Chains A and B, each alone.
Chain A
Amino acid sequence: MAETATRNKPASGGTKSRRNGTRTSGKRVQHDAQNVFSDESPETLRDYFRQMTLIRRFEERAAQGYTQAKIGGYCHLNLGEEATVVGLMSALRRNDYLFTNYREHGYAIAKGIEPGRVMAELYGRTTGTSKGWGGSMHMFDVESGLLGGYGIVGGQVPLATGAALAIDYRGGDQVVMCQMGDGTTNIGAFHESLNIAALWNLPVVFVVVNNYLGMGTTVDKSSAESELYKRAVGYRMHGERVDGNDVVAVNEAACRLVEHARETGEPAMLETVSHRLKGHSVVDPGKYRSQESVEAARAADPVVAFRAQLIDSGVLDEDGAAEIERQAQADADAAVAFADDSPHPDVSTLFDYTYATPVANDSRRLPADPVF
């Protein structure tokens, strides 16, 4: 990493460390068990599996809550991206900062927020991560370092750069991770921010979660250079691509880039390649997808694949896996129960969060109230 990422040389791309994440790869990635698991303790691997399974079960419950109209608005799930989510989040310290897009439930949980609080936000309850003001797309929790999910494509990228500027300004050793989708790399904010982060040496790792799709548009129809990590070169930034279905590979790459950013303050970009298992959001049946791509996504399901690998390599046995799955289901169910039991915000709090510093003549009228 050190030799590929110096700012004054064009990034050479980290070919050595890049793994088998070719964009047309739909088949299940075959791992060399020895190689994959060499650095990871069995406890860590089991914990990855535990987190991935929890996110899977949580998202299934979120989809259910949505169809029961307990959850409103839009609801974008991480199904199929669990390995990416857990691999990335395990590379961050609790006080490192994370900015995400609207597809963020898994990130919130893996960054350390109680699943109950995440579900309560989906349910619009006061116990939610944003007290019911944000919903699925807008979670926030300073204690676990989630500085927001953002519903505007690319909106989080300048903000993440600014948070990294603040760290640099104060001489802190935190790192900012900025998650986004493949479709986001074409919006101006992305380019402006990568340029600024590179110019000013800001400790931010831009993560592009390439699931081939932005809503219904495939990456090759939206990005002139569809190997997205290569865009980093334009900013003299180190960029690399990793198999997003491989939690260990994602974690290794993320750790390397995060630690490099921590030590040198240099930004970097990581592209993870995986699949979205379902539609863009819960209401989207995904009719635009070919049968092959749906099958390829299913065949590459990272939770199923990782379970099999752990059992093959003896890290887990059937009973152990079943126990983790039972617990994940119980945790997801408990999150739903917590959300269901929590109160909606009181209407009397409607004007509490317009301004942090109170001002003269702040309007506090309800729709039918007279102005005077």
Chain B
Amino acid sequence: MAVITYRQALHDTLREEMLADEDVFLIGEEIGVFEGSYKITAGLLDEFGEKRVRDTPIAEEGFIGAAVGAAMQGLRPVAELMTINFSLIALDQIVNHAAKIYGMFGGQCSVPMVMRTPGGGGQQLGATHSQNIELYYAFVPGLKVVAPSTPADAKALLRASIADNDPVLFLENLALYNTKGEVPDTAEPAEIGKAAVTRPGSDITIIGYSRMATVAHQVAEKLQEEEGISAEVVDLRSLRPLDRETLVESVRRTNCAVIAEDDWLTYGIGAEIAASISDGAFDSLDAPVRRVAAAEVPLPYAKPLERAALPSAESLTTAVHETLDAVGRRR
């Protein structure tokens, strides 16, 4: 078992999948000569050549659509969208085409492709480069949306996504690329659509995904160490399909929950989770479900403003404290 970064896990997995299957190829802006904006594809052009590591013009709709068309022929393109912000240019091809082709043609043609893309703020990139808009995709039947938070999950979910016969939006987060973790040498593909209880606990459930799942984990460890509070952490891992069972079961055990999300609150992913808890565990709830989400503003550039707008370990801890106080479980 090696300890590697999230970035390395993604890189290694792409390389291994390309070695294993001639049909797997990479397509995207600056992924070849430039080795990727975030260097996930470093060295792959040299190893696999231009046919399999394809630098594209700045034409998100054109190249994502071309990947969809190639996938319709049974190739397995892994497209890199430089950041999720630019995926909006390709929205038609993703939502109206990739997601619809299997159903619209009565199951005659599937679209086995992966769209890897980082999202998230915190890098002082301003409003158009700091969004968490995975919800737009998680809303759409026909797409699958996965969001690994650890290097091990990055590998297991990327393997599953490449093997999958449907279009998968594979959400990365700029803040996670340098995080480290143990990755089994022979990581099995994960099961898409399954959440994970990454830390068992009995006092409260914290539900998160991507960066906020890791923040939830840190907060839970600290609460245990400093206050003896036992928080359970559920990492969604897959936003569509959504594993409601796992999170509802957890809330049935702990009787209260805080949701931690990097996206905006109103209509956000946390809203769906809160509704799911209401649907499945209403009788078990001892307190209202709290949501810790980003401030609902175009994310500002100035550091103090940006910091204030994004959820953090501190804001999550506050919400957990207040919820525990409400149920009289704070020691």
- Chain A nearest CB from B15 CB (Å) reads 19
Q: List residues of A (121-147) whose CB comes within 8 Å of B's CBs.
A: 128, 130-134, 138, 140-142, 147
**Per-position binary interface string of chain B over residues 249-281, scored 1 when its CB falls under 8 Å from any chain A CB and 0 otherwise:** 000000000000000000000000001100110
Chain B, Cβ-Cβ closest to A147 = B72
Q: Is the CB of A166 within 8 A of B62?
A: no
**Per-position binary interface string of chain B over residues 188-206, scored 1 when its CB falls under 8 Å from any chain A CB and 0 otherwise:** 0001111000000000000
Interface size class of B (residues with CB under 8 A): 35 or more
The dominant DSSP class at the A interface is loop
Asked if A214 is an interface residue, CB under 8 A from chain B, the answer is no
**Stretch from A55-63, A251-259, A354-362 contacting the other chain:** A354-362
Asked if B97 is an interface residue, CB under 8 A from chain A, the answer is yes
Q: Is the CB of B70 within 8 A of A131?
A: no
- Chain A nearest CB from B5 CB (Å) reads 28
Q: Which B residues form the contact surface with A (CB < 8 A)?
A: 25, 51, 54, 56-57, 59, 61-75, 92-93, 96-97, 101-112, 141-142, 144, 163-166, 191-194, 238, 241-245, 248, 275-276, 279-280
19 A-B contact pairs sorted by A residue (CB < 8 Å): A133-B107, A140-B104, A140-B106, A140-B108, A148-B109, A158-B62, A158-B66, A159-B68, A161-B65, A161-B66, A192-B59, A192-B62, A193-B62, A353-B102, A359-B191, A360-B191, A361-B238, A363-B141, A372-B248
Of the candidates B69, B96, B102, B112, the one whose C-beta lies within 8 Å of that of A152 is B96
Task: List the 5 closest A-B pairs by CB distance, nearest first.
Answer: A162-B69, A158-B65, A192-B62, A131-B106, A360-B193
Asked if A163 is an interface residue, CB under 8 A from chain B, the answer is yes
Chain A, Cβ-Cβ closest to B51 = A169
Measured CA separation A131–B107 after assembly (Å): 9
Q: Is the CB of A133 within 8 A of B103?
A: yes
- Chain A nearest CB from B144 CB (Å) reads 7
- Chain B nearest CB from A129 CB (Å) reads 8
Residues of chain B with a CB closer than 8 A to A133's CB: 103-107
Residues of chain A with a CB closer than 8 A to B92's CB: 152, 155, 189
Q: Is the CB of B75 within 8 A of A166?
A: yes
Residues of chain B with a CB closer than 8 A to A138's CB: 104-105
Q: Is the CB of A362 within 8 A of B165?
A: no
Residues of chain A with a CB closer than 8 A to B63's CB: 158, 192, 196
Residues of chain A with a CB closer than 8 A to B59's CB: 192, 195-196
Chain B, Cβ-Cβ closest to A164 = B69
Q: Is the CB of B192 within 8 A of A360?
A: yes
Asked if A54 is an interface residue, CB under 8 A from chain B, the answer is no
Asked if A107 is an interface residue, CB under 8 A from chain B, the answer is no
Measured CA separation A352–B106 after assembly (Å): 9
Q: A356-B111, A371-B244 are in contact. List 9 more A-B contacts (CB 8 A).
A: A134-B105, A152-B97, A157-B65, A189-B62, A196-B66, A355-B144, A356-B102, A357-B163, A360-B241
Chain B, Cβ-Cβ closest to A132 = B106
Residues of chain B with a CB closer than 8 A to A169's CB: 25, 51, 70, 75
Measured CA separation A123–B41 after assembly (Å): 48
With A355-B102, A362-B193, A371-B276 in contact, is A165–B166 under 8 Å at CB? no
Measured CA separation A157–B69 after assembly (Å): 9
- Chain B nearest CB from A152 CB (Å) reads 5
- Chain A nearest CB from B280 CB (Å) reads 4
Q: Is the CB of A140 within 8 A of B105?
A: yes
Q: Is the CB of A359 within 8 A of B279?
A: no
- Chain A nearest CB from B48 CB (Å) reads 13
Residues of chain A with a CB closer than 8 A to B67's CB: 162
Asked if A311 is an interface residue, CB under 8 A from chain B, the answer is no
Residues of chain B with a CB closer than 8 A to A371's CB: 244, 275-276, 279-280
Residues of chain B with a CB closer than 8 A to A196's CB: 56-57, 59, 62-63, 66
Q: Is the CB of B65 within 8 A of A159?
A: yes
Asked if A370 is an interface residue, CB under 8 A from chain B, the answer is yes
Asked if A299 is an interface residue, CB under 8 A from chain B, the answer is no
Residues of chain A with a CB closer than 8 A to B193's CB: 359-362
Residues of chain A with a CB closer than 8 A to B242's CB: 361, 363
Q: Is the CB of B65 within 8 A of A189?
A: yes
Residues of chain A with a CB closer than 8 A to B110's CB: 356-357
Q: Is the CB of A361 within 8 A of B245?
A: yes
- Chain A nearest CB from B58 CB (Å) reads 9
Of the candidates B51, B105, B245, B280, the one whose C-beta lies within 8 Å of that of A148 is B105
